[in-house]
Amino acid sequence: MIRNVKIDLSNPMALPLLGYLESLPFAEVEKETKSFADAVAECDGRPAGEFFDELRRQVKEHFRNA
């Protein structure tokens, strides 16, 4: 299971916490955050309208053939 954690870097305890997390063998800290557009492209995201159009098409097709 993977969980993402957001840390407010303006908090004085943020850097010691990041240092601790980086020292753990089972944790990975990403230094750079991705833009929303990059994250969407990476996971093959689609606009909501396109997603729901395709969902409706598949549901109609499924029940047409049932």
Amino acid at 36: F
Q: What is the pLDDT of residue 45?
A: 81
Q: What is the pLDDT at residue 55?
A: 92
Tell me the two tokens of residue 30.
């990403």
Q: Please write the tens of the pLDDT for every residue from 7-66.
A: 888 888 999 999 999 999 998 888 777 777 787 788 888 888 888 999 999 999 999 876
Read off the tokens for 33: 């955050």
Domain boundaries, the chain: 37-66
Q: What is the pLDDT of residue 59?
A: 94
Q: What is the pLDDT of residue 38?
A: 80
CB 14 within 8 A of CB 8: yes
In the prediction, which pLDDT does 44 show? 80
